[in-house]
Amino acid sequence: MKTKYIFLCAAMVAVSAGAQTQYDAFRFSESELNGTARFVGMGGAMGALGADISVIGTNPAGIALFRGHDVSTSFSFNSTHVKSDFTGVTMKEKKNNMSFDQIGFVYSTKIGNRTNLRYLNFGFNYHKSNNLNKIFSSGGFLDGLSQTWQMANMIGGTVGALSEIDDIYNYGDVDGIQNPYNNVNYPYLGVMGVRTGLVGMDAVTSELKGWNGDQNYYNSREEGGIQQYDFNVSFNVQDKMYFGATLGVYEVDYRRTTLYEESINSQSEESGITLNHGGFYQLNNTHRTTGTGFDLKLGAIFRPIDDSAFRFGFAIHTPTWYTLTDKYNSSIYSEITYQVYNKDKNVVEEEIDKINENVYDYVGGETMQDYRLTTPWKFNVNMGTVFGGIMAVGAEYEFAAHNHSKLYYYDGYAMTEMNEVINEDVKGLHTLRLGMETRITPAFSVRAGYNFSSQAFKKTAYKALASNDMRTDVEYNNKYSQNTVTVGLGYAGRIFYVDLAYKYNLYKSDFYPFSDSSLAPARLTNERHQALMTFGVHF
């Protein structure tokens, strides 16, 4: 039992406390379909078609197809739904929020009709590249499995004597005992487990032990995301070749608050009498990530046939180089009833322990970790054409080698063991985008699009925490392939235009509240509905 986590403790013992995980690396490497309503309505498949401000972030050469100035801004309403099924127990959560999604402009300079360089364009665009707002709950029957065993396993490699357990448990009551959270060899979650009665030691075998789990409940609230600021320069050469470059600047502000609750029980024997013990505990975690990053995108589009509107293109995105800061805090409240045999009275009596342990009280504030993240290279190929002057179609394929994302300590040294875990657990991501737009009158157009993204994590992936880690959020979520369907409607006047779009995104994932090789996952169905509106001016 627990072999998966025991192996991790052995493999990760050299990692310094507070190391980030493969799930952190993927969260800030992934992007979603968002931007102007026209771009979203066509499924983002506009890399070769161009002439929309949102292609600044996919194929920068698409900005070179503008032949006039353009200003646009976009707003949306988002509704996120998550359904969880764990051991037959179903839970549903929903979160709605309004969002300011995009604002940008293109300044187009006409060089000449007979020169090789026809247009020189400059663009800027802000948009939300990843909206991480979500709430979900999960819970059910554990059949004896318990998160307390993971607590015991985490601290089991560094505590070998009952006296050490007593010192950890009694700190604050006995003078002269070192603060256990200052011991670089002790994991915070293991210390918290000992101090709240959730982890104990067998006095005979010196084995650290947890409890039997009965039922559990988990709730997570996520907010924030990644803001993207793109600066572009692009060139139109002979109306046949288009080149562009985009400098991207990213701002991360992500917050997560979680609650994990578990009912526990155990039995012991004394003088031939079976004693029953049990109760519950609550683990609260808060986590915030802030930081900045930058990347460079290069793109080209070619129109190979003079009398044809067919175009093809490609783009290369460098890694995003992030500098990030994690801040987190945790607390446990435990309430356990113990049965004690009173030999003098020959009766079984009950004792209740109520303990509230908050790391904040000992370390003088939130735990903070500075680190760096390098996301993978991205490669994009795209094509598009126009039929009869009324229908435009586009297609794109993009590949991102997420298994080659890299984490570094703030001083630049690689998190070698964790990067090996990323390479082992995370997959390269394949994304297909398709889109079409049809003009039904000179002023009105209808649009539709579809996206498919492949599975991000291997089925065997699990959260890698070091045996001396300061982090106490042991839950993880393995994401499978996702599908996105979009539709849109647009009105274009001589100067003003208005676009509407609706996006439906669906993916499934396996959620684990803790690591145990015998634990079945909660099956999550994740849905997001987005209604988007763009107002623009072209002149």
- Measured in whole angstroms, how far is the alpha carbon of residue 69 from the centre of its chain? 36
**Residue-level pLDDT at 2:** 37
Determine which helix (DSSP H) or strand (DSSP E) holds 88, and give its type and residue range.
Answer: none
Q: How many residues does the chain have?
A: 539
Helix/strand/coil for 361 = helix
Percentage, residues of the chain above pLDDT 90 = 80
Domain ranges within the chain, ordered by starting residue: 3-146+224-254+286-329+365-538, 147-210
pLDDT surpasses 80 at 467: no
What are the phi and psi torsion angles at 485 (to 5°)? -120, 135
Lookup: tokens for 165: 């357990």
Question: What's the whole-number average pLDDT of the chain?
Answer: 92
Residue 178 is classified by DSSP as P
Assigned CATH class of 3-146+224-254+286-329+365-538: mainly beta
Determine which helix (DSSP H) or strand (DSSP E) holds 171, and give its type and residue range.
Answer: none
**Residue-level pLDDT at 43:** 97
pLDDT surpasses 50 at 289: yes
**Residue-level pLDDT at 528:** 97
**Residue-level pLDDT at 172:** 59
In sequence order, what E strands does 378-513 have? 378-387, 391-400, 406-409, 429-439, 444-453, 476-492, 496-512
Percentage, residues of the chain above pLDDT 70 = 95
Q: Which residues, including other chains, have CB under 8 Å from residue 114's CB and lie 6 or more apart?
A: none
Q: What is the mean pLDDT of residues 441-458?
A: 96
pLDDT surpasses 70 at 324: yes
110-138 confidence digits (pLDDT tens): 999 889 999 999 999 999 999 999 999 99
pLDDT surpasses 70 at 185: yes
351-409 confidence digits (pLDDT tens): 999 999 999 888 877 788 999 999 999 999 999 999 998 999 999 999 999 999 999 99
pLDDT surpasses 50 at 13: no
Write down the residue that tokens 């799930």 correspond to.
23
Q: Which residues, including other chains, have CB under 8 Å from residue 279's CB and lie 6 or more apart?
A: 263, 264, 334, 335, 336, 337, 352
Phi-psi region of 104 (alpha: psi -120 to 50; beta: other; left: phi over 0): beta
What are the phi and psi torsion angles at 147 (to 5°)? -65, -20
**Residue-level pLDDT at 55:** 98
Determine which helix (DSSP H) or strand (DSSP E) holds 212, and give its type and residue range.
Answer: strand 212-237
Q: Which residues, including other chains, have CB under 8 Å from residue 472's CB and lie 6 or more apart?
A: 188, 189, 192, 283, 285, 328, 330, 359
Q: What is the mean pLDDT of residues 496-501?
A: 98
Count Cβ atoms below 10 Å from residue 62 Cβ, excluding itself: 32
pLDDT surpasses 50 at 346: yes
pLDDT surpasses 80 at 294: yes
**Residue-level pLDDT at 180:** 81
Write down the residue that tokens 């290279």 correspond to.
377
Q: How many whole angstroms separate alpha carbon 54 and alpha carbon 64?
A: 13
Q: What is the mean pLDDT of residues 517-525?
A: 95
Q: How many whole angstroms separate alpha carbon 127 and alpha carbon 118?
A: 29
Residues pairing with 477 in the sheet? 511
153-175 confidence digits (pLDDT tens): 988 878 878 888 888 888 755 45
**Residue-level pLDDT at 394:** 97
**Residue-level pLDDT at 469:** 83
Q: Which residues, including other chains, have CB under 8 Å from residue 286's CB and lie 6 or more apart?
A: 255, 256, 257, 258, 328, 329, 330, 366
pLDDT surpasses 50 at 14: no
